[in-house]
Amino acid sequence: EDQVTQSPEALRLQEGESSSLNCSYTVSGLRGLFWYRQDPGKGPEFLFTLYSAGEEKEKERLKATLTKKESFLHITAPKPEDSATYLCAVHPDRGGGNKLTFGTGTQLKVEL
Amino acid sequence: NAGVTQTPKFQVLKTGQSMTLQCAQDMNHNSMYWYRQDPGMGLRLIYYSASEGTTDKGEVPNGYNVSRLNKREFSLRLESAAPSQTSVYFCASGQTRITDTQYFGPGTRLTVL
């Protein structure tokens, strides 16, 4: 069974205090790993797709990396507007359809 | 482009009532999805449609039906609502390539009393 575990469940940072969020996954094969950001009361907003171990992608203060068992979302010098829940999802390499398995998310709060 | 739109935004039902959640996308995507999000459970797939005219069950299909009306629209129906269906429902769309990105709508918050 495919599994995605995100840690920590919640993280509180001071503005400018860099940190990383973790997404551990267990799948028979990986077609892709996705990171989304979700603000309260809103739908998930796409951030990154990673396809193979060693791949990295960056967007402003965020950088996503991928290994064979986990992905990290690094946040450099965060600002209060980075406060949100960050979701990780995997697309297993089996069967038909484009069905994603999601983790339960990391709730990030960045304080002044 | 509006992206993915959902109606209604909020709904309160009594047990046993029925309703249809509407979803439309203007990105010319082939695939559409319905998820539910519950605290501590993450997003779970209810049904999806890989292309116009096809639908398939996801992880939690019981108690729901779907209709892919055309390429743009994908509706989710609750025939006899139960309190366990209280949740936030999200529609998403994407292209059907080997790995495509799914884009989400703003959600419908449903309470069943």
pLDDT in tens, B37-70: 998 888 999 999 988 889 999 999 999 999 998 9
User: Which H or E element spans position A109?
Assistant: strand A106-111
| B99 pLDDT tier (thresholds 50, 70, 90) | low
Per DSSP, the three-state class of A81 is helix
Q: What is the pLDDT of residues B33-42, one digit of tens each?
A: 999 999 888 8
Look up residue B21 and give its amino acid: L
| Chain A positions with Cβ closer than 8 Å to B | 4, 31-32, 34, 36, 41-46, 49, 51, 87, 89, 91, 96-100, 102-105
Tens digits of residue pLDDT in A2-17: 899 999 999 999 999 9
Write out chain A residues lying below 8 Å of B94, CB-based.
Answer: 98
Confidence of residue B83 (pLDDT cuts 50, 70, 90): very high
pLDDT of residue B77: 98
Q: For residue B85, what are the contacts with CB-CB under 8 A and spacing of at least 6?
A: B63, B78, B110, B112
Alpha-carbon distances, residue A48 vs A36, A42, A83, B79 (angstroms):
7, 18, 17, 37
